[in-house]
């Protein structure tokens, strides 16, 4: 699973493949991949 965050409304979702539009605010191509907290913790160790 990959986390995505909408750059216009800050909506966060976890999904397998990146949606074209934000399901919340319907902004086109506004989703950016975001690392999960678990991944960040793993990198720190």
Amino acid 38: pLDDT? 74
Query: What confidence tens digit (pLDDT) does each residue in 9-26 have?
Result: 999 999 999 999 999 999
Does the reported pTM lie above 0.85? no
- Give residue 11's pLDDT: 95
Q: What domains can be seen in the chain, in order of their start residue?
A: 2-44 (2.20.28)
Q: Tell me the three-class secondary structure of 2-41, residue by residue.
A: EEEEECCCCCEEEECCCCCECCCCCCECCEEEECCHHHHH
Q: Is the pLDDT of residue 36 over 80?
A: no
Which pLDDT belongs to residue 41? 79
pLDDT for res 1: 86
């Amino acid at each position: 699973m990959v986390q995505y965050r909408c750059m216009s409304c800050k909506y966060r979702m976890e999904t397998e493949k990146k949606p074209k539009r934000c399901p919340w605010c319907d902004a086109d191509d506004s989703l950016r991949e975001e690392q999960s907290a678990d991944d960040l913790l793993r990198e720190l160790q």
